[in-house]
Amino acid sequence: MTQAVANVAEKYRYPLLSAGASASEIWSHGDRRYTFGVYSIAEVYFTGVLEIAQRAGYRTVAIVSEDTLFPKSTAQGAAKLAREKGLQVVLEEQYPARVSDVSSLIQKVKASGAEVLVGGSYLPDALLITRQAKDLDYSPKLLAFSVGAAMPDFGEALGKDADYVFGPSMWEPELTTPGNQEFVREYMAMHGREPDYHSATGYSGCQVLEAAVKAVGSLDRERIRDWLASAELETVLPGKYKVDATGMQIGHEVLTIQWQNGNKVLVWPPKYAQGASYKLPTPPWSQRA
């Protein structure tokens, strides 16, 4: 969707802040001047997860992903990061969008002997993989999903079965970034629920656009584009808004969460974790309370 919108924005020279898409392919064309990323590209989502795996002494990784652009991008990035950290990627597999049964895929992962399972996934398939992994009594030492695991809905849907699962997150409500607590408070007053990171990245995009308009002092699109291309700005997200020459975001910092005792806990990087620590290895299903 963002690819298509970016083409229109480019044609008519409208600055576009991508606050809901992060596949690096959006910026790989080299000829787009008007599309700017708000948060980290998909390929670096699992940086914290794989750092944790390496520190835990794990050496083998299986990577599965939905066969669509964003999940494949997270999976490809995870494979590259794993190899850079000296981990062996023992399996890379894709599954169709809107899949309803992944039991055969889980059996393949189980047979691979991978200590770590990384899923390039959205919420529905992250839930499906977790549920069928339990049905098949498969429990890797570390299990992580993109997108789905970081959403409050993941814990609500799975209850205690969500425990020990990791996931990358672009933002968390406990951050002490400028204006974050006000954002969380007003969001909850308006919607009656805690925001997930998709709401925060959208809000951050609005913060950046507001700052651009104020800095330029008008709605001149070329001047706003130029400001967005060179600005550095703190928002509610960790790190800062800062893009490279292509408009790809390079200043944002990816977080890692883990579900513990029914709660989503920020565990990485340490400077944002506020003393919280991750729990490993993931115990077998039969040994969980």
Q: What is the pLDDT of residue 142?
A: 98
Q: Which two tokens stand for residue 44?
A: 């670096």
Between the alpha carbon of residue 13 and those of residues 38, 78, 229, 267, the distances in Å are: 19, 34, 14, 41
Residues of the chain with CATH 3.40.50.2300: 2-42+176-230, 44-171+254-283
Above 80 in pLDDT, residue 289? no
- Banded pLDDT at 209 (limits 50, 70, 90): very high
The tens digit of pLDDT for each residue in 135-152 reads 999 999 999 999 999 999
Whether 30 shows a pLDDT value over 80: the answer reads no
23 vs 34: which has the higher pLDDT: 34
Q: Which CATH superfamily is domain 2-42+176-230 in?
A: Response regulator (3.40.50.2300)
Give the Cα separation of 186 and 182 in Å (integer): 6
Instruction: Work out the mean pLDDT of the chain and round it to a whole number.
Output: 96
- The pLDDT assigned to 128 comes to 97
Better-scored residue on pLDDT, 274 or 89 = 89
pLDDT tens-digit series, residues 47-69: 999 999 999 999 999 999 999 98
Of the CATH numbers 3.40.50.1220, 3.30.830.10, 3.40.50.1370, 3.40.50.2300, which one belongs to the domain with range 44-171+254-283? 3.40.50.2300
Contact 145, 165 (CB under 8 A): yes
Please classify residue 230 by burial: count the beta carbons closer than 10 Å to its beta carbon, then call 0-12 exposed, 13-18 middle and 19+ buried. exposed
Three-state secondary structure call for residue 44: helix
Q: Is the pLDDT of residue 236 over 80?
A: yes
pLDDT given at position 226? 98
pLDDT tens digits along 176-199: 999 999 999 999 999 999 999 999
Residue with tokens 């706003």: 224
- Assess contact for 56 and 115: CB atoms under 8 A: no
Tens of pLDDT, residue by residue over 271-282, are 999 888 999 999
Asked if residue 168 has pLDDT above 90, the reply is yes
The reported pLDDT for the residue numbered 93 is: 96
Residue partners of 104: CB distance under 8 A and separation at least 6: none
Check: pTM over 0.85? Answer yes or no.
Answer: yes
Q: Report d(CA 39, CA 286) in Å as an integer.
A: 39
CB atoms within 10 A of CB 162: 22
